Amino acid sequence: MRRLLLLLLLVSFCAAQAQSPSPKGEDRRGLESWDDFVEEYTSDVERAEEEDLQLHLQELKELSEHPININTATVEDFLQLPFLSEAQIEQIHAYIYLHGQMQTLSELRLVPLIDDATRKWLSLFAFAEPEQDNAKDKLFGSLRHDFSTRLDIPLYYRVGQQQENGYRGDALYHRIRYQIGNSRHFQAGLRVEKDAGERFYDSYGAYAILHDVGILDKAIVGDYRIGFGEGLVLGGSIWNSKSTPPLKTQGGIRPMVSNDETNFLRGAAVTLSLFKHLKLSAFGSYRKRDATLTDEGEVQTLRTDGYHRTASEWERRRNLGSAVLGGNIAWYNKGLHLGATGYWQKFDRDLNPGTQQYRAIYPKGNSFGVAGLNYGYTRYRLSFAGETAYSTVGSGWATINRASWNISRNYILSAVQRFYAYQYYSFYASSLAENSNSQNESGVLLHLQAEPLAGLQLTAYADFFHHPWPRYRMTHGSTGQEFFLQGSYAVSRRHTLLARYQLKRKENGDLMEPHHRVKLQWTYELKNRWRLQTTGLYHNVLGRNGFLLSQNARYLLPKPNLTLNAQLGYFNTDDYLSRIYLQSPALYSTVSSASYYGHGMLGVLTCRWQSKNGKWMLEGRYSLLRYFDRDEQGTALQRILSPWKNDLSFQLRVKI
């Protein structure tokens, strides 16, 4: 009865998944909604990628809140959108040069390399409006305020909340974000966060950024992320996924808009447009980081989870100082780009990762430097780019090179070669890799994106990789392969079928583990109000099997702009090794995925209400998890002494 009352209260209290308000000058009815974009863009995400993807999605949501005018957008503006290739950007500029400014985004149908999916996604981030001569004169005019707060309430107790030496704070999660700015020149933000189990709001940050003011391309003070070239030296501005074509370079300096506690710099950064095709960037940062220390006061492990719930976690809190200085010079002209990036980093303690074999290649000492050259050329349908870098850590080299061929509007063929020596290490690298670090790996990725028939979209890739130095739980070098094939077919205007097969062969514990994963999905949309989606997932590894069936239903009620999204799932796997990953309905501008193993069921209900003028948004989420094969779940202080797990989340957003 208590659960039923909570569900009824939630349904009457909140709302879900309304579309973003349209930028001026565009009628976006019938185009992409933010929620549909997130679902399509992240359809292959796994739990291991969720943290990086959350950060990436929040940056993309920020871009959608401040869409660009396609008639005045620069190459750098377009580079912020991960689904646009360098060849497509060149084609958009060529069309505007030859035919004049676009009147509506529908004209993108006439651009040779822009397919329907790209045009639909681009509608979230761009609009078409005639250029105004005085558009750049208003630096702080028309300021807009954006406030949001989120509260997560667990309807259960963990062991850590019940033990005297357990968690120091309550079980609630809470965060606040505030932003102020205009559409182009100025933006500032503030964030604070308290994780469940923490006593204080110990994660916080702020930033202020100026755009496009004279020769000042960007200037930021506070927390920011930065990426140049292919991300081999600095790669903090693009999320990499094998299922999407490797399209373009990193996007430079960006403000830190999420609550991530690890992947950012704190200080100041600036990019100057010195000449028409030349840009110079410089940055500096100093911040305290979490670390596990040895008895001698050396750093054994850099902590990245951001948790400070227990006394031992509190001891690791901000006990390591890190200073970073660096810069980049970049030159662009007629499809050709060249650049050089480098940084120097100094810790106030020595890093000593230990004597285990897999940790022997981790960086040691307290002073490190990395430098690299990036290069590329795009000409109509062909694109080539790469980066080669050197690190003082172990005197190691690394290189990544990619090539893409837009055979036509419906076919993109790509290839990526990568070599990251085990002696190479960059603390801020984020380039395409099988491992989480751009180190100790070489490989080749072949990728094809095709639309051979109207309504049929195919994605296929094959990745071959090798790790020369023994990884965790390995005593020798290892190899692996990954093969992926996905087809999505619009049977009619309302019915879409999706099928996917993935095979990954990767050595683990000196044994080759072949993972076979299958996904079947049917989507049905009715009169822009109902959206039903049935999903089946299967996982086989070493003779162990797991499957999951889920049903999603979304309903939009135009008045009072209320939408409900529900999911119900059933899973049964032989063990943890055959676990299943599933995405669930989430709060606005977030993604929620989890792994399920054993025998049980899950349920999620999200709801969102948005005012007619788009200034107010109130939403909530209820989730449940019920195991049939155990009486408790979790381990250590996270253990729950019940087969049930129920959570409530609420989020309020105000835009003025």
Q: pLDDT tens, 296-336?
A: 999 999 998 889 999 999 999 999 999 999 999 999 888 89
Whose CA is closest to 553, among 534, 577, 528?
Answer: 534
Average pLDDT, the chain: 85
> How large a percentage of the chain has pLDDT more than 70?
90
Contact in structure between 403 and 375 (CB atoms under 8 Å): no
Whose CA is closest to 503, among 484, 479, 525, 477?
Answer: 484
Measure the CA–CA gap between 239 and 398, rounded to whole angstroms: 19
With 90 as the cut, is the pLDDT of residue 649 above it? yes
Structure tokens at 623: 């989730």
Contact in structure between 629 and 130 (CB atoms under 8 Å): no
Measure the CA–CA gap between 149 and 28, rounded to whole angstroms: 28
What does the pLDDT read at residue 480? 94
- Residues 220-234 have a mean pLDDT of 92
Buried b (16+ CB within 10 A) or exposed e, 186-212: bbbbbbbbbbbbbeeebbebbbbbbbe
**Within-domain flag for 244:** yes
What does the pLDDT read at residue 1? 37
Structure tokens at 165: 């030496």
**Within-domain flag for 216:** yes
Structure tokens at 442: 């070489």
What does the pLDDT read at residue 245? 67
With 80 as the cut, is the pLDDT of residue 139 above it? no
Residue ranges making up the domain that contains 371? 177-453
Structure tokens at 318: 């901000």
Structure tokens at 30: 């019938």
Structure tokens at 616: 């107010």
* Beta pairing, strands 544-557 & 365-379: unpaired
**Within-domain flag for 250:** yes
What does the pLDDT read at residue 237? 57
What does the pLDDT read at residue 156? 93
Whose CA is closest to 445, among 411, 475, 413?
Answer: 413
Contact in structure between 484 and 245 (CB atoms under 8 Å): no
Query: Quick one: pLDDT band at residue 559, thresholds 50, 70, 90?
Result: confident
**Within-domain flag for 264:** yes
**Within-domain flag for 128:** no
Query: Quick one: pLDDT band at residue 387, thresholds 50, 70, 90?
Result: very high
DSSP state of 158: B
Residue 371 CA, distance from chain mean position:
25
What's the pTM? 0.84
- Residues 114-138 have a mean pLDDT of 74
> How large a percentage of the chain has pLDDT more than 90?
50
- Residues 221-248 have a mean pLDDT of 80
Structure tokens at 40: 């399509």
**Within-domain flag for 589:** no
Q: Show the DSSP H helices in 286-341 as ranges.
A: 311-315
With 70 as the cut, is the pLDDT of residue 25 above it? no
DSSP state of 15: B
Query: Quick one: pLDDT band at residue 32, thresholds 50, 70, 90?
Result: low
With 70 as the cut, is the pLDDT of residue 8 above it? no
What does the pLDDT read at residue 21? 38
Residue 353 CA, distance from chain mean position:
28
- Residues 520-533 have a mean pLDDT of 88
Residues near 415 by beta carbon (within 8 Å), at least 6 away in sequence: 402, 403, 444, 445, 446, 447
Higher pLDDT among residues 459 and 183, named by residue: 459
Structure tokens at 198: 């923490």
3-state secondary structure of 10: helix
Longest dimension (CA), the chain: 72
**Within-domain flag for 169:** no
Query: Quick one: pLDDT band at residue 378, thresholds 50, 70, 90?
Result: confident
Lowest-confidence pick of 54-58, 279-283, 471-475, 616-620: 54-58
Residue 236 CA, distance from chain mean position:
11
- Residues 530-555 have a mean pLDDT of 94
Query: Quick one: pLDDT band at residue 51, thresholds 50, 70, 90?
Result: low
**Within-domain flag for 540:** no
Domain count, the chain: 1
